[in-house]
Chains A and B, each alone.
Chain A
Amino acid sequence: MTGMRQKTKNDLLMLAAGIVIYAVVQTLISVGFIQDYWERNIVYVCINIILATSLNLINGITGQFSIGHAGFMAVGAYVGAIMTVKFGLPLAGGIVAGALGAAVLGFIIGLPTLRLTGDYLAIATLGLGEIIRITILNIPYVGGASGFMGIPKLTNFTWAFFMMLFVLFFIKNFVNSTHGRACVSIRENEIAAEAMGIDTTKYKVMAFTLGAAFAGVAGALFSHYTYIAHPASFTFMRSFDILTMVVLGGLGSMSGSIVGAIFFTWVSAFFAEWPEWRMVIYSLLLIILMLFRPQGLFGNKELSLKMFGRLTGGERRGTAQGN
């Protein structure tokens, strides 16, 4: 009601901030200040943000513990690559097809599995991710175990950044809509949500399908950046990586997922030369997090100006539920 105009204003402000960030980074890339190594990691940051926020939609917002996100990413990567390589579509076609493929699969898989809760759902989705990967491994049409080669490098910073921006806006507005509120109420209390007349199955499947679709977008961007789509890129370790980003930032917080994804990407880039230490660092990070901040960096709050206000002691409210 009163928040409507404020919301649009915030959206425009964020969009403007996004464009400024884009302009600065793109200029630095063009003049050669940002070199290959950095550019690659910046693109990975964008892709990881898409993955983390889309998993957050399922795990954090709707409260359905899924750990098979790499599977949907794989579907997007392969379907996208088939479209561009075998059918000669442009990247946009690949991304749309990848998203649709992952969404259809997410819908079909979500319908039966979302009847499960907690640990059982986690195990089922973990298994599903692996089933997807092993199925791909055995399809000669897409290269089987040696991977899908010869994918043109169509993804660049511009594509990655604007797809990320699109996904972020989509999820943010979804969460603040009636549908998003219904999803949050399922997380808070499924029985009460049902008693309020919310079709809980519908919203669980909706969140799951949306999350899968965006993972597909990330997958398509990914395979068109690395020349090759290989089943080994989509093991359950990848799913755990995405989950780590979400948990690190705080389940349920979009800003948390973004910060988690940025942080995680740079830590793994930094330790790329010592892969064995990477895992040690992750575990240490998570242990420290569990000890000192079990709700994640952001809890389930969002980064907002209010937060800074409170830091400086300006506004004291016990309920700063930012949006």
Chain B
Amino acid sequence: MLKIEDINVYYGAIHALKGISLEVPEGEIVTLIGANGAGKSTTLRTISGLLKPRTGTITFEGKNIAGSPAQDIVKQGVSQVPEGRRIFANMSVLENLELGAYIRSDSKGIAQDLENVFQRFPRLRERKSQVAGTLSGGEQQMLAMGRALMSRPRLLLLDEPSMGLAPLLVKEIFAIIKEINASGTTILLVEQNANMALSIAQKAYVLETGRITLSGTAKELSESEAVRKAYLGG
């Protein structure tokens, strides 16, 4: 569904991604793990169009989207949940979700998806008219995910959904990610919490300082000696 070939991304003079290639097959959860500064978020931001690769191609359903503006990529069906949630803090929960459907104009479909989001995250329904900035961290993560789902994406990019959340909440969020995937959305998940990520993914890539150093099925990687030492705590 998504195929990245040999992309190079720079922040000014800094060479952040050095020839990364990866593939996300339709219907799967693919995870990208690695330490701080490895380039995980950069990869996601490049896919969603917030950054532009200097060279290389990103093919989504047969179309090259490398370098397209972010709004065109969202229209193609790729939606990102940015790192650190980034909800619209002074707007209500409902307004946040409505903005998620910004690119759509089918009010029936939007109402339907709003209902779906509320069913998936009952907490958000309870707090529909509450100002989003007053939600707890976990609720904000749910809101960010719900907001991304409102554009009815076929590929959902999740950037560190477990960041700053209590272990129990992390479990809950990951269960929801699995559900979203089961209902037909392909997921590319970036995580530092390698254990959790590998437990729900089918395929995984390990990033180190801008290069992919290992790849394989999630099972292979979680059994690999190198990964265990570096990311899974022995």
Contacts and interface: CB of A to CB of B under 8 A. Distances in A.
B88 A188 contact: yes
B74 A195 contact: yes
A191 B87 CA distance: 10
Contact of A196 (B69, B129, B151): B151
Interface stretch (A44-52, A64-72, A109-117, A177-185): A177-185
A185 B50 contact: no
A188 B98 CA distance: 15
B199 interface: no
Interface string A287-323: 0000000000000100000000000000001110100
A196 B91 CA distance: 15
B71 interface: yes
B88 A185 contact: yes
Interface size of A as a range: 20 to 34
A181 B71 contact: no
Interface in A189-207: 189, 191-199
Contact of A195 (B69, B79, B90, B95): B79
Interface of B, secondary structure class, is mixed
A223 B61 CA distance: 58
Interface size of B as a range: 20 to 34
Contacts of B70: 194-195, 197
Contact of B91 (A178, A184, A195, A317): A184
Given A189-B86, A189-B87, A319-B131, A195 B92 contact: no
B46 to A, nearest CB: 13
Contacts of B81: 195
B147 to A, nearest CB: 7
A188 to B, nearest CB: 4
Nearest to A202: B71
A-B residue pairs, 7 tightest by C-beta = A197-B74, A188-B88, A192-B86, A197-B103, A197-B71, A195-B80, A199-B71
Interface of A: 178, 181-182, 184-185, 188-189, 191-199, 300, 317-319, 321
12 contacts: A181-B102, A184-B91, A188-B88, A188-B91, A189-B89, A191-B50, A192-B88, A194-B71, A195-B74, A195-B81, A317-B129, A321-B131
